[in-house]
């Protein structure tokens, strides 16, 4: 909304509004994928027929695979933070509070999903996934800080 209402301040406001809508749609679409991924974890945990070591391995693998959705959400959230920071810095001043709130909420979502990633990886750390998580978190933190700084001007 803030992007769409910043046409006087931002030449690419309409494009930014489309990007924001796309990010929202992509995040909403991941809800079902998250349920399915964690369903595989629960299925592996409930398998009474598997040998203990095989069951442990299946649960661990399912948890690693279940990190993909929170990782994607982290990356989307970081993009939302960046968009919100840009709007806070350059957009409609009447919507500064909305843009800052969006950045802070998106940062909180990135942090929450980061906790899920770390929890799901547990004893099977995956450098690639942990790296993606760290990069998304750093982007979100930096952008949220930029948005807050815009409020202090």
Flag whether 132 is in a domain: yes
Percent residues over pLDDT 70 in the chain: 97
* pLDDT value at residue 102: 96
The whole domain housing 70 covers 13-151
pLDDT of 122 strictly over 90:
no
Radius of gyration of the chain (CA): 19
Structure tokens at 53: 């070591």
Flag whether 2 is in a domain: no
Flag whether 81 is in a domain: yes
Quote the CA–CA distance of 106 and 97 in Å, as a whole number.
Answer: 14
Confidence (pTM): 0.87
CATH of the domain at 114: 1.20.120.680
* pLDDT value at residue 34: 85
pLDDT in tens, 12-35: 888 888 888 999 999 988 988 888
Flag whether 7 is in a domain: no
* Number of domains the chain is built from: 1
Compute, in degrees rounded to 10, the torsion defined by CA atoms 15, 16, 22, 28. -160
Secondary structure letter of residue 127 according to DSSP: H
Flag whether 3 is in a domain: no
More confident residue, 125 or 134: 134
pLDDT in tens, 64-104: 888 999 999 999 999 999 999 999 999 999 999 999 999 99
Mean pLDDT of 44-56: 90
**Tally of residues, the chain:** 153
């Amino acid at each position: 909304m803030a992007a769409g209402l910043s046409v006087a301040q931002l030449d690419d406001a309409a494009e930014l509004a489309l990007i924001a809508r796309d990010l929202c749609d992509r995040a909403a679409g991941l809800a079902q994928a998250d349920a399915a991924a964690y369903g595989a974890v629960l299925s592996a945990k409930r398998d009474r027929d598997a040998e203990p070591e095989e069951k442990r391995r299946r649960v661990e693998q399912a948890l690693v695979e279940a990190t993909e959705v929170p990782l994607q959400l982290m990356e989307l959230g970081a993009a939302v933070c960046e968009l919100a920071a840009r709007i806070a810095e350059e957009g409609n001043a009447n919507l500064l509070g909305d843009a800052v709130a969006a950045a802070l909420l998106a940062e909180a979502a990135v942090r929450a999903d980061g906790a899920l990633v770390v929890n799901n990886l547990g004893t099977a750390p995956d450098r690639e996934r942990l790296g993606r998580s760290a990069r998304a978190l750093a982007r979100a933190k930096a952008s949220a800080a930029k948005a807050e700084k815009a409020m202090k001007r």
